[in-house]
Amino acid sequence: MITHSSTLLINKTRGLKFTESPRWHDGKLWFLDIHDRRIKTADLEGRVETAVELPFIPNAFGFRRDNSLLVGNAMQRHIHRWDGTALSPFSDLADITTFCLSDGIVDAGDRMYVGDIGYDFFDPTAQPVDTCVIACVDPDGRTRVVADGLHFPNGMVITPDGRTLIVGETMGHRLTAFDIEADGSLANRRIHAQLPAGVSPDGIALDAEGAVWLANPEGDFGALRVREGGEILERVDMDTECYAVMLGGPTRQHLFICGSDSHDPTEIARTPSATIRVVDVAVPGAGIP
């Protein structure tokens, strides 16, 4: 197994609170700063800018073909659209999800797929649900459940041909794959990679050889490159918890890693420790995001 070390692109002194959902778009790294309630960008020199200020805690994020973006209001479980100027309500997932939205992506046809966490991370006494769903938001804003019975569906990728969705089931310690049907529904659920008990995949990214890079925030945390079937090919050792990854840069050979010493909202408010790190890798990114 190949082991990498990372380089700090943005360190703890730069004011980031908790970064998630990194996306390479229009020559920059875009990401959610969840507890700062903003969508931000960073260039390859580590310069950070705010793209959108949000009136809610976000999760789930992706770009449409018209260059507008969709972003989730995590706790209210609504989707909003930002057209470059204004933020407007787009879709309501409250009736088909529980507690809080998790990660989500927008496909090449402007559909959004988003998971639900199934527990309230602001209130650990709230009874969690046993299993969770993936919801689909159609281009016109209509919603439906396209998969259920998942254990915290989190990071998602779509293969370059648009025919397969892979999701990290954080509490299931696995990557799960689905066929994407012509109408956007998901079928033929199968285990893409069963992972060791100490690996809880959060954000994920797909490369051109079909391997998945995943962020593992628990146990022996770091970023892992996993082949279909579960073989771990490469890893990036981290001295902090690892929450999301993205293959970007001019040739999509920069692996960006979102890290933080904690995901506890109280600790983040008191002592934010978010960083973004980068590793050069041999195999470029592919598919969405």
SS3 100: coil
Distance CA 224, CA 102 (A): 20
Tokens 């966490």 correspond to what residue? 117
Cβ partners under 8 Å of residue 250, min gap 6: none
**Angle, vertex CA 98, rays to CA 57 and CA 202, nearest 5:** 65
Cα torsion through 241, 227, 160, 101, rounded to 10: -40
Print burial letters for 240-267: b (CB count within 10 Å at least 16), e (below 16): bbbbbbbbbbeebbbbbbbbbbbbeeee
The amino acid present at 45, given as its one-letter code, is: E
Give the CA distances from residue 204 to residues 15, 61, 129, 221, in Å, rounded to whole numbers and listed in that order.
24, 14, 23, 14
Distance CA 94, CA 117 (A): 13
Burial of residue 25, with CB atoms counted within 10 A of its CB: 0-12 exposed, 13-18 middle, 19 or more buried: middle
Continuous segment of H or E residues that includes residue 266: helix 265-270
Give the pLDDT score at 128.
62
Give the pLDDT score at 272.
87
Give all domains of the chain, ordered by start, each with its CATH number. 2-280 (2.120.10.30)
pTM of the model: 0.95
Number of CB atoms found within 10 A of residue 33's CB: 23
Cα torsion through 13, 17, 20, 22, rounded to 10: -40
What one-character DSSP code corresponds to residue 270? Answer: H
Give the pLDDT score at 130.
67
Tens of pLDDT along the chain (289 residues)?
Answer: 889 989 999 998 888 999 999 999 999 999 999 999 999 999 999 999 999 999 999 999 999 999 999 999 999 999 999 999 999 999 999 999 988 999 999 999 999 999 998 777 667 676 666 679 999 999 999 999 999 999 999 999 999 999 999 999 998 999 999 999 999 999 999 999 999 989 999 999 999 999 999 999 987 779 999 999 999 999 999 989 999 999 999 999 999 999 998 888 888 888 888 999 999 999 999 999 9
Would you give the end-to-end CA distance of the chain in angstroms?
A: 26
Burial of residue 129, with CB atoms counted within 10 A of its CB: 0-12 exposed, 13-18 middle, 19 or more buried: middle
CA dihedral (238, 239, 242, 245) positive or negative: negative
Q: Which of 38, 27, 35, 88 is nearest to 260 (CA)?
A: 35
Preceding peptide of 289 cis, ω within 30°: yes
Cβ partners under 8 Å of residue 124, min gap 6: none
Structure tokens at 273: 């420790």
Give the pLDDT score at 79.
98
